[in-house]
Amino acid sequence: MKLAGGKTDVDFCPYLDDAAKAILGATTRPPIRLVKLGIGERSFAVGEEFVLYRHEKTFYHPPGILFKIADTQTLDEIRTVTTRVRDESFTRVGADLRFNGIAIDNTSGSPDTFARAVETVEKTADLPLVLMARDPAALSAALMHCGTYRPLIHAATQENYKEFCALAKHHGCPLVIKGNNIDKLAQLAKDCTAIGVQDLLLDLSPESLQAFIVRSTNIRQLAITRAAPDLGYPVFLDASIMEMQDAAIALGIAKYASVIISTPLSPATARAALTLRQNIYTDPQKPIQMNPGLYRVGNPGKDAPVLMTVNFSLTFFTLQGYLESTRVPCFMLIVDTEGLSVLTAVAAGKLSEMLVKESITKFAVEDEVSHRKLIIPGYASPLSGRIEEATGWKVMVGPRDAAEIGDFLNQEWKQ
Amino acid sequence: MTDVELAIKNGELQLKTAITTIQGTFSYDDTAYHLPISYALTGIPVHDRNTSLDVFSRTKDNPLVASEIILAKKTAQDGKEESPLTGFIGDSTIRKLGYSLVDGSILGLALIVGSPESTGSAAAICRELQEKYMLTFLAGPVIPSLSSAGVKLGLEYRLIPLGSNTLYGVHFVDIIARVAMMFGGVTPGDMHRLLTYAAERAKAIVIVLPGLSDEEIALVDSMRVLGFPILSLGDYKKGAWISSTPENIVRNGMELKGIRVNVTAIPIPMGCSPAFEGKSIRKEEMYVEFGGGRSPAFELLRMKNPGEIKDGQVTVIGPEIDSMKEGSANPLAIIIEVAGKTMKKDYEPVLERRIHNFVNYGEGSWHVAQRDLIWVRLSKEAVAKGVKIEHLGKLLASKFRMDFPQLLDAVSVTLITDNEKVLAAKNEAERIYDERDARIKGMHDGDVNTYYSCTLCQTFAPNHVCVITPERPALCGAISWLDGKIAYEISPAGANQPIEKGAVINALNGEFDGVNRFVKKASHGEIDRCSLYSVMEYPMTCCGCFECIALMLPEVNGIMVVNREFKGLTPSGMSFSTLAGTIGGGAQTPGFAGISKGYILSDRFLQGEGGIERLVWMPAQLKEELKPRLIKKFEDRGKTDLFDKIADETKAATIEDLMVYLDEVKHPALTMKPLV
Amino acid sequence: MGIDVNFGWSSTIVKVILGATKSNGGTRRRSYQIGGGTTLPFLETTPDSSGPLIAFEICDDLQNWSPIVRNYCRDVVNDCGEWAHAADSVYGADMIRLYLTSTRQRNFSDIASVGKTVESVLSKTSLPLIIEGSNEPTIDSEVFLKCGEAGEGERLLLGTAEAGRYRSIAAAAMAYNHSVIAQSPIDVNLAKQLNILLKEIGVARDHIIIDPYTGSLGYGFEYSYSAMERIRFAALKGDSDLAMPIICSAIDSLTVKEVRDAEPALQDNIAVQWEFTTGLAAAAAGAEIICVRHPRTIPLLRKAFVSLKSEKIVAGGQ
């Protein structure tokens, strides 16, 4: 069944013979090849995507965003950028958001300089790398230092693919192939796989943001409809050479880029980009959940209101946002409805008086406040009586729309 | 006594003569619509004799057109009348007026002509119209009559005096014609569209008082073609006018045009809101209770013909709350009678279910169950605030009107608290419940040509659509074919849409070309074919909220069912949640189907695979839950021993055990046609 | 060119006109036409579409407006007309969206002031306008009548109709030939239903803009993004009740935690990036009017849109 869903590879099945595998393989392999970059803790995989729109199912592998350095920069500069990617992390909704690696560009043209830059990066951190060079000799020199760490090689073209493939094959590295004509790119991919390099990425050489969207969308559509299996590879985007890097990153994230290169980003762009990536690559059918618990808004004291709601992250943030703007210090009692919204949790029976009672005990709410009044969401009103009976607390039914919580607290909460 | 038909004939003749004498030019300032009535009907701007004669003949000597021309000429000749008489009203005011009609601040328009017999009655009629958010136009002797009675006239009072004689009533129609062209998308000259708009959208009535001349009668009568009911006080006989009395004339008129005042407030001394829905009333808190096994009680909702009931009427038959002892259990009958142009008998049970919600919305009232199993309580707190039995009735009457503004024109409530009367009415109610049950039980898929879809779950599964038939309810278990039908009729743009079955492609599997077409469209092209009764071939897609999953077990040539509540592993090697993860999200997975519990009892279940004899395994708890109905079903099919042959987790937890078990009991599935 | 991509579209987005120039009875110096798309956004240039348009949001009572905006725009925010003028001549917006937030105060009753404010803005800027009315049902009727009347002839875009509250705004749109923003809570079926309700009351299809409600980046944005994609998809597949252009307005962008709690030196940049990223991604999903509150977001979006609307790109490339 997993095979039918394209979720696994026919090669894993020990019972099939080669002929069966060949037949099944063609139709069951993921339409976009899974390619792994780097090794170890920070390695990541891209590809294995099935849909054009995230709402059809989901996007599975978030794009890696890597910072570019030129081998002409000072070693200190190189170390600074590498350290930043190694250490920087933003936490949002329980996930650590980070950048994914370093791209080193052979700006100098010199194999020695290139190798030295790569070596410096390697000594500073264990991160996935992208080696960007035109000269196979430079690549070869660099690969001496990092060949075993599965760096991504950029990029093979119709002119140089034989040498680049040889290098990629020798070191077992994934390879970017570059071109702005998707027919020719398909042919190039075929040529590379014939040599034995299977792990490819496609650089669409977009001359504008529009060119990127057009080509990337078409390739995704061709791949998932299996109309052009030779284009079933993840997309590579060098945002740093686009006219508007920030725009390119955002559009790359939305429109199927799997490896995005940029110059080190400002704090503002960094946060926005990582948040967009997290949003777009969230599984629509698996709502992000907050950890259940007792959360504080401001500095609530013993007589502060206690507002109960579900652990669906959107509900949490929406309510929290409105509560913060009321400037009324209060507690949010977040119960575990497995990420379901209020309405859904009530309908499914997941939000029950027993759950509320258990949560009050588990999070020691009775130690935090001297009163016994619980405010519940408007849509949970059918439970009000049962919650009162189960917990012994008095229940106040709040508004259905969190936007009205301010008015509600002003009018109803008198302590 | 005035013979209306005769008067019309005479009047038309006089108007025709008058038209031939038209000379000179005439027009109104501040309008882009020339003479609006003739412009709307014919597209021709009328400003002189030639154009007058032209449109008059084109509209076949229409009295309205004639009157408009005559009035325009008169106004040009004699000048505008003095304020407060408005005469022709300019476009920008009309635009505002049309706005109020569209946004609902004004419910409709009324024209009053003639001479009132008493100033008092005319004033009373006007007051009633004002209270009911109608905009009233006046023409003729009624105006000075009202003024002398001290009634204030003007736009701000919604009583607009058009002119000193009935002829000025023409402005009433030219206003409606302009609203049609400004708001109704009516192009000038599109006569048909104008008449349709006037009849269906313009909520307009005409009230005729005594004393009209023949010409005036002809003019008024000609407004009937626009769908305006003509209601009369006074001695007008024959003709199509509706005779009425001063007390009823406004109500009659509004009912005829389907103009309803929306209920916004509930006049009872206790709060009423969904926020109170979950609040129960404990024994210590209650003042009185009804039903719940302690006293006879039932609820019933019935449809009546419009006119048979008075909207908002609440009657209590028997003792009121003040004669009931605190803590006692008393008999209660809740009888709701509803009427509405689009109301149907089929909707009765659906509306009846709302009694439960509405009573619970009351801050001091509580209700459980339905039909003759209800249990109702009123709290001490509420009774202390002055809540009485009749207020329960008022709550119900108001809520039904508020929640079904399009469907119900009138709701009246009778509450019986007299024991004997309750018992007598209960017998009748029980007969009606049985009738309803028989009706839905007897419904077969073959009886109807229309099935209903449900896309409520598309937020979660964008390409999923349920097809609901009389014998196959929605997979969530919540929506039956009847529910879908009613939901569609009440909200035609909602989540339930009709599906024309079309031709049969495969009767056994339940595949129909109309259904296939619909499913293809509703799933955005993802699903081409859908067989309603088969699990193996093109089964219906599922979202994620199915109550059970039916799936095939090839090893035993049978189908097993597992429900959501069962947490263990099934003989398929997968648990409910694993299975659900694979088949949900709008996928069509041959061999698997998400279904409701109720469907297991349907004759159509597994029809495509040869029938219920294919059923080999289901969890013991589900089996127990369905036992009596399943056993009856098997008996009807002459297979009394089948129930025990169906395995559960206690008899066979794995596929190997199941194979052994089925073999031992000689389960029919083993010898049926191979599934794969 | 061997490879051909076929999405199977069978329909197009409706064209909606915003703003009326002199020749059409108004006083705007520009009139925009958006919609008309025949495929996914930016896949093919539609020469006659003016979108995506950037609308700068102003209001007449800043009580609940982010202080970041006041700090940046300074005193001009105290006068709607002046602020609109700045948005036009200094910030470079395509449209101005005026929120009559004064009507949202309790017991608001000064309807005449509504008319004055609208007139002032209409006179101080000649860009097409979006006017957001009250959100209190009891005064809706008067407020929208005033707005509609004050802007008669200008082909305004009026906001915002919702399922339970659309009659007054629809009436104003029909009486004075304006268009309506129809908002639903991130639910494609509800968006469709509202459009049907508007159609039934008489609002023409080409006078409706869909607002699927935009959650801010990190606070539900992906739900809105997918709703926009689904609406676009349904429209192109032939669903005429969803074939209207889409508007994106992530009004909470400047009040989310990341922006509110940012170090002062970074705050403006983060605010701008938040709006920019949201607006650009929404445009990629199909939004044709992008609303922003920080002036610095405008040039960024504009530059991006220019790069997205060059000549028709052949998928195969050169």
Do the beta carbons of residue A265 and residue C273 sit within 8 Å? no
Segment A85-111, tens digit of pLDDT: 999 999 988 899 999 999 999 999 999
Which chain C residues in 236-295 lie under 8 Å from chain B, judged by CB atoms?
A: 237
Distance, CA of B110 to CA of A317 (rounded, Å) = 53
Verify that A394 and A310 share a domain, yes or no.
yes
Backbone angles phi, psi at B674, to 5 degrees: -60, 140
Q: Is domain B446-612 in CATH 3.40.970.20, yes or no? A: yes
Distance, CA of B388 to CA of B405 (rounded, Å) = 26
Establish if A8 belongs to a structural domain: no
Chain C's closest residue to B197, CA to CA, is: C202
Segment A354-379, tens digit of pLDDT: 999 999 999 999 999 999 999 999 99
Verify that A72 and A103 share a domain, yes or no.
yes
Least confident of A217-221, B96-100, B118-122, C101-105: B118-122
End-to-end CA distance of chain B: 86
Amino acid A318: pLDDT = 86
The architecture of the domain spanning B2-256 is 3-Layer(aba) Sandwich (3.40)
Instruction: Choose among C161, C163, C128, C158: nearest CA to C146.
Output: C158
ipTM value for the complex: 0.95
Do the beta carbons of residue A68 and residue A265 sit within 8 Å? no
Q: Of A232, A253, A280, which residue constitutes the final position of a domain? A: A280
Distance, CA of C224 to CA of B108 (rounded, Å) = 40
Amino acid A133: pLDDT = 96
Do the beta carbons of residue B136 and residue B158 sit within 8 Å? yes
- Cβ burial, residue A41 (10 Å; 0-12/13-18/19+): exposed
A254 touches chain C (CB under 8 A): yes
Q: Of A250, A280, A310, which residue constitutes the final position of a domain? A: A280
| Residue B340 CA from chain centroid, whole number | 8
Residue A397 structural domain: 293-412
Averaged pLDDT for residues C165-183: 95
Longest dimension (CA), chain A: 78
Q: How confident is the model at residue A6 (pLDDT cuts 50, 70, 90)?
A: very low
- Measured between beta carbons, the chain B residues lying within 8 angstroms of A56 are 462-463
Amino acid identity of residue C109, one-letter, is: S
- Identify the H or E element spanning B561: strand B558-563
Distance, CA of C56 to CA of C37 (rounded, Å) = 24
How many residues does this entry show for chain A? 415
Contact B275 A397 (CB under 8 A): yes
DSSP annotation of B164: S
DSSP annotation of A57: S
B157 touches chain A (CB under 8 A): no
Chain A's closest residue to B546, CA to CA, is: A348
Amino acid C300: pLDDT = 97
Q: What value does the CA radius of gyration of chain A take, rounded to a whole number of Å?
A: 26
Of the candidates B98, B462, B491, which has its C-beta nearest C175's C-beta?
A: B98
Q: Compute the count of residue pairs across chains A and C with CB atoms less than 8 Å apart.
A: 159
Do the beta carbons of residue C114 and residue C16 sit within 8 Å? no
Residue A16 has pLDDT above 60, yes or no: no
Contacts with B521 (C-beta within 8 Å, 6 or more apart), sequence order: none
Verify that A255 and A302 share a domain, yes or no.
no
Averaged pLDDT for residues B390-404: 93
Q: Which is it for the CA torsion C67, C71, C73, C75, positive or negative?
A: positive
Establish if A258 belongs to a structural domain: yes
More confident of the two residues B527 and C221:
C221
Instruction: Choose among B641, B648, B649, B650: nearest CA to B668.
Output: B641
Amino acid A415: pLDDT = 53
Distance, CA of B130 to CA of B568 (rounded, Å) = 68
Q: What value does the CA radius of gyration of chain C take, rounded to a whole number of Å?
A: 19
More confident of the two residues B405 and A328:
A328
All structural domains of chain C: 19-308 (3.20.20.20)
Instruction: Choose among B524, B530, B553: nearest CA to B542.
Output: B530
Residue C3 has pLDDT above 80, yes or no: no
Instruction: Choose among A117, A112, A111: nearest CA to A133.
Output: A111
Quote the number of domains for chain A.
2
Burial B642-672 (b: 16+ CB within 10 A, else e): bbebbbbbebbbebeebbebbeeeebbbeee
Do the beta carbons of residue C35 and residue C26 sit within 8 Å? no
| DSSP reduced 3-state for B272 | strand
Residue B132 has pLDDT above 80, yes or no: yes
Three-state SS for chain C is CCCCCCCCCCCCCCCEEECCCHHHCCCCCCCEEECCCCCCCCCCCCCCCCCCEEEEEEECCHHHCCHHHHHHHHHHHHCHHHHHHHHHHHHCCCEEEEECHHHHCCCCCCHHHHHHHHHHHHHHCCCCEEEECCCCHHHHHHHHHHHHHHCCCCCCEEEEEECCECHHHHHHHHHHCCEEEEECCCCHHHHHHHHHHHHHHCCCHHHEEEECCCCCCCCCHHHHHHHHHHHHHHHHCCCHHHCCCEEECCCCHHHCHHHHCCCHHHHHHHHHHHHHHHHHHHHHHCEEEEEECCCCHHHHHHHHHHHHCCCCCCCCCC
- Identify the H or E element spanning B343: none
Distance, CA of B289 to CA of B272 (rounded, Å) = 19
Burial C70-104 (b: 16+ CB within 10 A, else e): eebbeebbebbbbbbbbbbeebebbbbbbbbbbbb
Which chain B residues in 567-606 lie under 8 Å from chain A, judged by CB atoms?
A: 582, 585
Do the beta carbons of residue B515 and residue B533 sit within 8 Å? no
Degrees, nearest 5: CA angle A249-A251-A255: 120
Instruction: Choose among B400, B405, B395: nearest CA to B276.
Output: B395
Do the beta carbons of residue C45 and residue C309 sit within 8 Å? yes
Q: Which residue has the tokens 């009847």?
A: B482
Establish if A259 belongs to a structural domain: yes
Q: Which residue has the tokens 């170890």?
A: A40
Smallest Cα distance from B463 to chain A, Å: 8
Distance, CA of C161 to CA of C182 (rounded, Å) = 5
Longest dimension (CA), chain C: 67
Chain C's closest residue to A271, CA to CA, is: C270
Q: What are the angstrom distances between the C-alpha of C234 and each of B523, C181, C189, C286?
A: 10, 19, 11, 12
A267 touches chain C (CB under 8 A): yes
CATH class entry, domain B274-441: alpha beta
- Asked whether the bond before A155 is cis by omega within 30 degrees of 0, the reply is yes
| DSSP reduced 3-state for A51 | coil
Query: What angle do helix axes A267-280 and A245-254 make, rounded to 10 degrees?
Result: 10
Distance, CA of C61 to CA of C101 (rounded, Å) = 5
A196 touches chain B (CB under 8 A): no
Mutate to test the interface with A, among C7, C269, C277, C290 (most CBs of A within 10 A): C277
pLDDT above 70 coverage of chain B, percent: 99
Instruction: Choose among A189, A292, B144, A326: nearest CA to C3.
Output: A189
Mutate to test the interface with B, among A54, A56, A342, A405 (most CBs of B within 10 A): A56
- Measured between beta carbons, the chain A residues lying within 8 angstroms of C258 are 271, 275
Residue A21 has pLDDT above 80, yes or no: no
Q: Which residue has the tokens 């007598």?
A: B424
Instruction: Choose among C45, C55, C60: nearest CA to C18.
Output: C55
Amino acid C318: pLDDT = 36
Q: Of A245, A280, A315, which residue constitutes the final position of a domain? A: A280
Amino acid C287: pLDDT = 97
DSSP B217-246: HHHHHGGGGGT--EEE-SSEESSS-EE--T
DSSP A129-163: EEEE-S-HHHHHHHHHHHGGG-PEEEEE-TTTHHH
Contact A280 C225 (CB under 8 A): yes
Q: What's the CATH number where A140 sits? A: 3.20.20.20
| DSSP reduced 3-state for B49 | helix
More confident of the two residues B578 and C191:
C191
pLDDT above 90 coverage of chain B, percent: 59
Query: What angle do helix axes A353-362 and A384-391 make, rounded to 10 degrees?
Result: 40
Beta bridge partners of B615: B559
Verify that A164 and A221 share a domain, yes or no.
yes
Contact A275 C217 (CB under 8 A): yes
- Cβ burial, residue A17 (10 Å; 0-12/13-18/19+): exposed
Segment A396-415, tens digit of pLDDT: 999 998 888 988 998 888 75
Residue B346 has pLDDT above 70, yes or no: yes
- Strand ranges for A230-385 from DSSP E: 235-238, 257-262, 293-297, 306-310, 330-335, 373-376
Segment B179-235, tens digit of pLDDT: 999 888 899 999 999 999 998 888 999 999 999 999 899 999 999 999 999 999 978
A65 touches chain C (CB under 8 A): no
A346 touches chain C (CB under 8 A): no
Segment A220-250, tens digit of pLDDT: 999 999 999 999 999 999 999 999 999 999 9
Residue B404 has pLDDT above 60, yes or no: yes
Domain ranges of chain B: 2-256, 274-441, 446-612
Q: How confident is the model at residue A15 (pLDDT cuts 50, 70, 90)?
A: low
Chain B's closest residue to C241, CA to CA, is: B493
Segment B52-67, tens digit of pLDDT: 999 999 999 999 999 9
- Identify the H or E element spanning B528: none
Q: How confident is the model at residue C315 (pLDDT cuts 50, 70, 90)?
A: very low
Verify that A276 and A299 share a domain, yes or no.
no
Distance, CA of C66 to CA of C254 (rounded, Å) = 6
Segment C233-277, tens digit of pLDDT: 999 999 999 999 999 999 989 988 899 889 999 999 999 999 999
Backbone angles phi, psi at B15, to 5 degrees: -65, -40
Amino acid B275: pLDDT = 84
Q: What is the mean pLDDT of chain C?
A: 92
Q: What's the CATH number where A395 sits? A: 3.40.50.11600
Verify that A297 and A196 share a domain, yes or no.
no
Do the beta carbons of residue C45 and residue C276 sit within 8 Å? no
Smallest Cα distance from A115 to chain C, Å: 34
Chain B's closest residue to A377, CA to CA, is: B275
Averaged pLDDT for residues B324-332: 95
pLDDT above 90 coverage of chain A, percent: 79
Verify that A41 and A152 share a domain, yes or no.
yes
Q: What are the angstrom distances between the C-alpha of B435 and each of A321, B431, B469, B598?
A: 54, 6, 20, 21
